[in-house]
Structure 1
Amino acid sequence: MYLIGLTGSIGSGKSTVAKMLIERNIPVVDADFYARKVVEPGKPAWKKIKANFGEDVFKENGELDRTRLGQIIFEDKAKRRLLNEITHPEIYKEIFKVCVLHFFQGRPYVVLDLPLLFEHGALVGYMHKIIVVTCERDQQIQRLRSRDNMDEASAVLRVQSQWSMEEKAKRANFVIDNAGTVDETKEQVEKMMAIIEDDNFHIRIRVCIAVAAGLICGFFYFVFLSS
């Protein structure tokens, strides 16, 4: 099994592409889902956020106020870095567990939906292929304003906090242009998946794992049992 990274700047429509992949019965691991899960009340990351950011970023029921925290970290790089240091290790643990499960289910590959794949960089080296979803910058800002009900200045600030789509596209194996219609995006996804599904890289990985396991078993047999 190998890993495919799916990323794109905020408002580019990455979730639309992820949904199209899910509809094809492709396993997609959503990092945002686990980002919410690891900060549930009482979790280790939740406790660390409380200790470092104070009570102001929490609601009365103890849940993390993501809107309030988002305003703080997007205006302060040092605090954004601190939050990443708190949450990312916990998120990666959850993603690893899910990937192991898919491996034992015999999946040839898993798509990791990672909004900040390049910005954080920790998982880039583990990706066999990377998909970047793009659109026009004006579309990006407008989608963000409509989706999150924010003013233009706030939307621009969010966009500027990430790498540009041009920089991400340079590092991609596949670029999906989501500036057009849903059908146009879907057509690009279909062509991309035809290429990916022709790749037998996962077979080579499983053969290597089988050979390595055989060598280890053989070693232990001759060292500990043959005598």
Structure 2
Amino acid sequence: MKVGLTGGIATGKSTVSEWFRQKGAAIVDADQVARRVVEPGSEGNRRVRERFGDGVFRATGELDRKALRNWVFGDAAARKDLNDILHPLIIRRMQAEVREAEKEAPDRPVILDVPLLIEERLTYLADIVVLVYIPEELQLKRLMDREGISGEEAKRMIKAQMPITEKKKFADVLIDNSGTRADTERQVDALWETLVSKSGSNRL
């Protein structure tokens, strides 16, 4: 059973992902995969260097993410080039990790932790899509508190993403993280029971 887990900034997706890990799920984390595909010596590292030059790399050969981010932030063509380079590599690596996890334990649910699962049209990678959500007003407050930023800056970051209300349309399961920690855990527990039941697992 492959579960696409997504959310918005400061909605609590990473916390929910960690709870699934603790319960025994295999986690395929898109952010971690994105880092691995540009490690020194990798195809991604080489192709990014060919397109963007040595200026976006440290002396160690590691990608300087901040420098690259600053480059593509205001350059749509450069951002498209970067996505064209990295997205196929990330997807291929994620699919390989899923196959590896399924081979290791066929009855274990696999959580695909992907922040842009919906925006990047990657829902086809999963059997079901789970969205962790909170109301935008609470999202704004939590983001301000977490990052120590102004309301305007937080609004800008939230507006840069697809609205949670839009993401809901693509989700098979919603986890409401606007209540207490216990409230959210109960929802995760209920979903986990369903997942392991459907996969034939005894991991409850």
Shorter-normalised TM-score: what interval? 0.7 to 0.9
1:181 corresponds to = 180
**Contact 1:4–1:111 (Cα < 8 Å) also in 2:** yes
1:42 corresponds to = 41
Deviation at 1:118, TM superposition (A): 1.0
**Cα distance per residue 1:132-179 (max 9 Å; x no partner):** 011232443454455556665554443333211111111111111122
Residue 57 in structure 1 maps to residue 56 in structure 2: yes
Residue 118 in structure 1 maps to residue 118 in structure 2: yes
**Structure 2 CA distance for partners of 1:126 and 1:22, relative to 1, 3 Å:** same
Aligned sequence identity (%): 34
1:135 corresponds to = 134
**Structure 2 CA distance for partners of 1:77 and 1:161, relative to 1, 3 Å:** farther
Query: Equivalents in 1 of 2:96, 2:131: separation in Å?
Result: 24
**Contact 1:74–1:157 (Cα < 8 Å) also in 2:** no
**Cα distance per residue 1:166-214 (max 9 Å; x no partner):** 11111111111122322221111112222223325x79xxxxxxxxxxx
Give me the CA root mean square deviation: 2.5
Deviation at 1:120, TM superposition (A): 1.0
1:207 corresponds to = none
**Contact 1:74–1:161 (Cα < 8 Å) also in 2:** no
- More helix per residue: 1 or 2? 1
Query: Equivalents in 2 of 1:8, 1:63: separation in Å?
Result: 29
Gaps of 5+ in 1: 204-227
**Contact 1:74–1:158 (Cα < 8 Å) also in 2:** no
Say which SS state the counterpart of residue 50 (structure 1) adopts. Answer: helix
Deviation at 1:100, TM superposition (A): 1.5
Query: Equivalents in 2 of 1:189, 1:77: separation in Å?
Result: 38
User: Which structure has the greater CA radius of gyration?
Assistant: 1
1:31 corresponds to = 30
1:73 corresponds to = 72
Query: Equivalents in 2 of 1:155, 1:75: separation in Å?
Result: 19
Structure 2 counterpart of 1:114, one-letter code = V
Give the stretch that moved more between structures: 88-97 or 24-33. Answer: 88-97
Gaps of 5+ in 2: none
Structure 2 counterpart of 1:111, one-letter code = I
Tell me the matched-pair count: 200
Query: Equivalents in 1 of 2:103, 2:170: separation in Å?
Result: 30
Structure 2 counterpart of 1:68, one-letter code = A
Deviation at 1:130, TM superposition (A): 0.6
**Structure 2 CA distance for partners of 1:53 and 1:37, relative to 1, 3 Å:** same
